[in-house]
Structure 1
């Protein structure tokens, strides 16, 4: 079932721009800095007494001008906001990632079959007052599964979900290609959107630009790109996680100093901020704020252009990883809030095991590998995003590579500039950037397919998908997806991650911790996420 009024598949450039080519990490670069706190008319911080009429003001360290289309976005700001505006059939707890009934009335008890049936919550309404129906559910999944429409969500569902059909006005059935219990947690990534709104001509473009109409506890009331987005409690919401704040004002302040200033001091203009710089943790704690971190898959990765010699040689890629003094990077740049990568997955992931190839600091081995590859005297220009913590890490990369005879130049640029160059298939050598697939979940199968696959955006940038090793890797990944035994599946995933580690085409250097700060005298129930953004569905006035 396809809706003929839907907009055509976006060009890859627009998918990059609005789909978040940085993955879930720095959804936009610090070039999209918004040092202002937004229009005066939407910058009310409320009475601050915990009264029902008060406005919660939060500072988000990422841009709000990425795509707001839930089927398309990886923008940290937009994904966090959409979790308050929209609902999936099921949603997941932001920390445990356990699924809970959202628009659906319950989580299916039996996940071993190829049919999951859901009843929609009675009385559920969209923010324009119209009821949520099975037609809306089918509409969204049809878009996601449409082979002619390129969406980020397609990669999360198309491998295992065959179709979604309407049973009656309040009941739907998901028909799977094979049993896939892990898919139940992915349903939160399919936010249910009103067909009567988004089936209109041009509506998907409006969704990209910021139009948001959902059924969640908060409705969007204003959106000012590069400045702020405001929300109000939706009075007709009858779901499980009700709004605790009458109004919210989320400021986008990408630059670190004004972001910290906004939450600091007796006259602080905000009660909560994410993406706290490590250097400011002590200062904020001494001022009475709570500062907590979440360790997950946030990482600095290197991606090599395998069509640009000598980076087609695995020994060169390995050498450059062995050469990096990751202990120094963690100590100096990350102030101890990180760990050298020992697998593509971070160590807290349920599917983690150390990869067979671990890039411990070994400059002698790096020199030897370069000599064996005939790549001595190498000169590298590192194309990097200018996200603040990535920029802090770059000097360690340069010093480490210079020390083994690789003359290194650092070229940090705006995120959009970096990935537009690759989208235009311009030549490059190495990219250093940030990613955090935990924004989509903890499922290792999802994480790896987000980064690796024959039609994957990242593999297109790395120019590696046609390599014989890559083709076998992709077959092994698909077999693991279909494996019904969970222990065997985990082992298969770990085995192919060994290949990913050995090949080092796109691979993390360090995993780091993300910090969130808030005023405990004003707020309670806040939990620091290990991925960008905030979730305030269980927070309230203190």
Structure 2
């Protein structure tokens, strides 16, 4: 990297502690302390105001005690917030995922070129008033591409982006390893961070604990990890999607009942909420709210520890998938708002093809596979995140495995607690959790690299990356990434997804819809997204 001040290397333990790793509710983080001042008793104040001056109050159904570092996090709350606080050179529409110029003045002239040149938006400033410069861009991508620094964003850039150069005070160029048009959509994942703020020693630790200083339409005004984060419109923002709300207060309410109560009735304390339980859809609609969902990549998956016998045997992993009564799960837990996985990708993905191995409910086949593997009297402890809809699905998994003769113990727990155990390399058998790589994008190459690839966090959890099948898979993934012909690339991707399906190391059980509810009498321009969180950059008071 030229003209870059090297970012301090992040120790692997720090990465696993502070980075996000689950699309829907997860991050590999222990509970973090608040970085804002003021008594906790004031945190749920709606902010007052009248008319256009009033505060937008939103409810997010996921934890807010995880990293806010935009290059590290996969926290649903933090990622949604960061889209309002930070900008990439390019950003993407939250629904169509089409890229548009954000901090850059325009899109690259030729997306198939191996050099993309960008000029920064004239007058763009950070929330502390200092100008955005090319040095900030080089600093940000220096963290992404530094071989001695581990970031989640590296998974989405390292294979195709070679270098980012400063060409002037407000101009940069990105040098690609090969033509990669899909990279334009990924630039939103490299939210540009101010070097003068986060380039200081120890400053990135503040980002993990919630500090956010961007150039976007909203600036963060307070952060209380266990209750809420507040924002206000940034008066000097001159970009394409200006703030429509003077102030916003985002509440974190993980438990379903209080979340629904907060948005319900004549005395509702919020105007919008994501992660609406399926059982409450009718109630909220009758109460006059707009309720809409989106089907996408959101899924319940199983993660196996392949270093813990007998889960090193693919037949055992397959057996436990075949045993699950997904039809019952969809009817009872998801109220019909889901589909059994027939590929790693959901059926709406442009690269979707039914996998060569599909885990339909087949207890007889499950028993046969366990017998072939020489396994009997198996006892399984299933650790799981406590996300409400996941908790609703767990009884079906237990009943299915118990019926197979597999004695099953459920251990649901807070997401941060569960993944701290994995961070600490504690032994486990199987994990059930929620994920949605669509938070990062829709292209299959990105989605698959989120969970699979050499050096990938998830592969280390599964203890699988040194397996010969895994190494062959990674080679196939790399060849598909580099393939210039879209049709050939699609087929190559579908073929290696068949390998992922057959081995079932990290693999979805069901894909489900995510539901958002809002007061249409108060808000207009809301679009329900098929991944966690909300985006109100094109919304306004009705």
TM-score, scaled to structure 2: 0.96
Q: Distance in 1 between matches of 2:26 and 2:340?
A: 23
Tell me the distance in 2 between the aligned counterparts of 1:474 and 1:252: 37
The alignment partner of 1:292 has SS state of strand
How far apart, CA to CA, are the structure 2 residues paired with 1:223 and 1:5? Answer: 28
Which of 43, 48, 51 is the matching residue for 2:45?
43
Matches within 5 A, 1:18-97: 18-21=18-21, 23-27=22-26, 39-40=41-42, 43-47=45-49, 51-97=51-97
CA distance in 2, matches of 1:500, 1:360: 16
Shift of 1:475: 0.3
**Secondary structure of the structure 2 residue equivalent to 1:70:** coil
What residue in structure 2 maps to residue 126 of structure 1? 126
State the Cα deviation string for residues 448-489 of structure 1 (Å, max 9, x = none).
011011211111111111111111000000010110111111
Matches of 2:149 and 2:286 in 1, distance apart?
51
1:84 CA drift (Å): 0.4
Change (3 A) 1:305 1:408: same
Aligned to 1:324: 324
1:10 aligns with: 11
**1:482 and 1:529 mapped to 2: Cα distance?**
30
Matched-pair contact (CA < 8 Å) for 1:7–1:204: no
SS in structure 1 at match of 2:52: coil
Matches within 5 A, 1:268-287: 268-287=268-287
Query: In the superposition, relative to structure 1, how do residues 119 and 15 fare at CA in structure 2: closer, same or farther (>3 Å)?
Result: same
- Contact kept? 1:42, 1:230, Cα under 8 Å: no
1:63-99 deviation line (CA, Å, top 9, x unaligned): 2221111111111111100100010000000001000
- Conservation of the 8 A alpha-carbon contact between 2:25 and 2:434: yes
Contact 1:323/1:362 (CA < 8 Å) preserved in 2?
yes
Match of 2:35 in 1: none
Structure 1: distance between partners of 2:84 and 2:512: 26
**For the residues of structure 1 that align with 2:416 and 2:225, how far apart are their CA atoms?**
16
Greater alpha carbon shift after TM alignment, 386-395 vs 236-245: 386-395
Cα drift, residue 143 of structure 1: 1.1
SS in 2 for 1:267: coil
Q: CA deviation at 1:501?
A: 0.2
Residue 206 to residue 469, structure 1, CA distance change in 2 (3 Å): same
Distance 1:53 1:38, change over 3 A: farther
Counterparts of 1:16-415 in structure 2, within 5 Å, are: 16-21=16-21, 23-27=22-26, 39-40=41-42, 43-47=45-49, 51-415=51-415
Following superposition, the deviation at residue 47 of structure 1 comes to 4.4
* Uncovered stretches (5+) of structure 1, i.e. residues with no partner: none
Distance 2:176 2:5 in 1: 24
Q: Is the 8 A contact 1:313 1:373 kept in 2?
A: yes
CA distance in 2, matches of 1:38, 1:494: 50
Q: Could you tell me whether the CA contact under 8 Å between 1:62 and 1:254 is conserved in 2?
A: yes
Provide, for residues 311-336 of structure 1, a one-character-per-residue CA deviation record: whole Å limited to 9, x for no partner.
Answer: 11111111111111000000001111
Unaligned runs of 5+ in 2: 33-38
Task: Give per-residue Cα distances to partners, 1:282-338, cap 9 Å, x unaligned.
Answer: 111100001111111111111111111111111111111111100000000111111
Q: Distance in 1 between matches of 2:508 and 2:449?
A: 15
Secondary structure in 2 matching 1:238:
coil
Does the CA-based 8 Å contact 2:60-2:250 persist in structure 1? Answer: yes
Give the Cα separation in 2 of the matches to 1:62 and 1:324: 26
CA distance in 2, matches of 1:301, 1:353: 19
Which secondary structure state, in structure 2, belongs to the residue aligned with residue 310 of structure 1? coil
Give the distance between the partners of 1:517 and 1:353, measured in 2 at CA: 32
CA offset at residue 6 of structure 1?
3.5
Is contact 2:26-2:416 (8 Å) kept? no
Measure, in 2, the Cα distance between the counterparts of 1:504 and 1:84.
36
1:4 shift after superposition: 5.2
CA RMSD of aligned residues (A): 1.9
Q: How many Å apart are 1:226 and its aligned residue?
A: 0.9
Contact 1:45 1:270 (8 Å CA) reproduced: no
CA distance in 2, matches of 1:242, 1:518: 21
TM-score (norm 1): 0.96
Per the alignment, in what secondary structure is the counterpart of residue 206 of structure 1?
Answer: helix
Q: Secondary structure at the match of 2:354?
A: coil
Deviations 1:414-449 (A, max 9, x none): 222222222222221111111111100001101101
Call closer, same or farther: CA 1:100–1:486 in 2, change over 3 Å. same
Q: Is the 2:43–2:228 contact (alpha carbons within 8 Å) kept by the matching residues of 1?
A: no
More moved, 417-426 vs 253-262: 417-426
| 1:441 corresponds to | 441
What is the aligned residue count? 536
Q: CA deviation at 1:38?
A: 6.1
